[in-house]
Chain A
Amino acid sequence: MKEKFEPNIIGFLCNWCSYAGADLAGTSRIQYPPNLKVIRVMCSGRVNPIFVINALQQGADGVLIGGCHPGDCHYERGNYLARRRMAVLKKLLEHTGIDPNRVRMTWVSAAEGHKFAEVVKEVTEDIRKLGPMQNFKRENKW
Chain B
Amino acid sequence: MVDEKELRDLVKKTVKRDDVKYVVGYEKGTYGFQVTPCFAYKPEDADKFVFSPLCVHNLVVFPMLEEKPPLRKGEQPDSRKVGVVVKGCDSRAIIQIIQEKGLDRDKVVIIGIPCTGVIDPKKIKAKFPGQVKNVEIKDDNDKFAITINGKTHNIAKDELMPDKCLTCEYPTPVLYDILIGKEIKSNKKEDYKKVTSFEKKSLKEKWQYWEKQFEKCIRCYACRNSCPLCYCKECMVDQLDPQWVRRTVDVSENTAWNIMRAFHLAGRCIGCGQCERVCPMDLPLMELNKKIEKDIKELFEYTPGINAEEKPLLAMFKPDDPEDFIL
Contacts and interface: CB of A to CB of B under 8 A. Distances in A.
Interface of A: 49-50, 53-54, 57, 70-71, 77, 80-81, 83-100, 104-107, 119, 122-123, 135-139, 141
Nearest to B317: A80
7 contacts: A83-B317, A88-B296, A91-B295, A92-B266, A95-B195, A107-B326, A107-B327
B281 interface: no
A131 to B, nearest CB: 12
A83 B246 CA distance: 28
Interface in B191-219: 195, 198-199, 203-211, 214
Contact of B259 (A81, A92, A119, A122): A92
Contacts of B204: 97
A119 B263 contact: no
Contacts of B252: 57, 136-139
B209 A97 contact: yes
B325 A87 contact: yes
B207 A87 contact: no
B98 interface: no
Interface string B74-100: 000000000000000000000000000
A90 to B, nearest CB: 6
B326 A97 contact: no
Contacts of B299: 87-88, 91
Interface string B304-316: 0000000001110
Contacts of A87: 295, 299, 321-323, 325
Interface residues of B, number: 50
Interface of B: 195, 198-199, 203-211, 214, 236, 244-246, 248, 250-253, 255-256, 258-260, 262-263, 266-267, 287-288, 291-292, 295-296, 299-300, 313-315, 317, 319, 321-323, 325-327
Nearest to A89: B263
A99 B203 contact: yes
Contact of A92 (B208, B291, B321, B327): B291
A47 B262 CA distance: 17
